[in-house]
Amino acid sequence: MALAVYFSMLYIMITRQDHSLRALTAVWLLPAVTPIVPATTGALLARAILPFSSPHATITIFVASVLLFLGLGLTFMILPLYMLRLITEGLPSPTMIVSKFLPVGPCGQGGMAFVVIGQVFAEMSQQGIGSNPLLAGPQPWILLGVVGGFFLWTFGIWWILLSLLAIYETFKSQRPNFGVGFWGMVFPLGVYALLTSQLAEALNSTFFRILFAVLSLVVFLLWAALAIITVYCVCQDSEALFTAPCLTSCPNSEATLDRLCRNSQEHSGDENC
């Protein structure tokens, strides 16, 4: 399912939609996240079934690794484009400013997958599974997983700081109306906190444990605040709450809708859109 969403969304973006650098947002990263999340789940599943069936664990960790690199590969192709858009066009519109947290998601989820996959390969080498010389010792795999996770953790710091500064600048000049898009901050910060927890366990670091506790508290408070505001807004004006900012803030959105309408008429023969 993750691969179907991954490839189909990319195919539709390339063949069915019109895009420009000015309209580029961090929402483009959503197809990249779809394989990274099951990669983490697959790594945890491989660790669980390793004591009972090493062949199934090997297949599972192989699939998880493929999914991880597919997702990270697309992430590091889109992020340079997004940086170019920020430098040349400036910050996104106020309604899309919270989307700047989305790059933290692949960093946190991908880093967690890196650490867990390295630990699984280390456990496989300890059990002497297979005759591959790459599995001769567990330490290189643990080191590789921690280095990959720490790289994505530090990369996530940059996006968190940039997002906070961008949100501050936007709210200072023009405060956007609350919408469901604000919930897009919870998942990236949540998986970033989980990556911090994995690094704290792997490095046996007090610093990372304290930081994990702080991040967990921040994520909980953010979730609670968004939940309260969402319930309040639903009672006041639910239609405005569920307006998609990624559609309303796109440049030339009316022209795009007209073009889609004409394409639909050509294929269906219906005079109405």
Q: Please tell me which residue, 237 or 93, carries the higher pLDDT value.
A: 93
- Distance, in Å, from the CA atom of 75 to the CA atom of 107, rounded to the nearest integer, reads 9
In a domain, 99, yes or no: yes
| pLDDT reported for residue 264 | 55
- Distance, in Å, from the CA atom of 104 to the CA atom of 159, rounded to the nearest integer, reads 6
| CB neighbour class for 43 (10 Å; exposed up to 12, middle 13-18, buried from 19) | buried
Q: Please tell me which residue, 98 or 44, carries the higher pLDDT value.
A: 44
DSSP, collapsed to helix, strand or coil, labels residue 120 as helix
Count the domains in the chain. Answer: 1
Confidence band (pLDDT; 50, 70, 90) for 72? very high
Q: How many residues does the chain have?
A: 273
In a domain, 273, yes or no: no
Task: Say which range, 57-66, 145-154, 237-246, 257-266, has the weakest mean pLDDT.
Answer: 257-266
- Distance, in Å, from the CA atom of 165 to the CA atom of 117, rounded to the nearest integer, reads 34
In a domain, 161, yes or no: yes
Segments forming the whole domain that contains residue 192: 2-244
In a domain, 271, yes or no: no
In a domain, 96, yes or no: yes
Question: Average pLDDT, stretch 168-194?
Answer: 85
pLDDT digits (tens, 9 = 90+) for 103-121: 999 999 999 999 999 999 8
Assign residue 191 the CATH number of its domain: 1.50.10
In a domain, 64, yes or no: yes
Residue 187 has pLDDT above 50, yes or no: yes
- Distance, in Å, from the CA atom of 114 to the CA atom of 40, rounded to the nearest integer, reads 8
The DSSP secondary structure of 55-85, one letter per residue, reads HHHHHHHHHHHHHHHHHHHHHHHHHHHHHHH
Question: Average pLDDT, stretch 208-220?
Answer: 96
In a domain, 265, yes or no: no
Question: Average pLDDT, stretch 231-255?
Answer: 61
In a domain, 251, yes or no: no
Contact predicate 2/35, CB 8 Å: yes
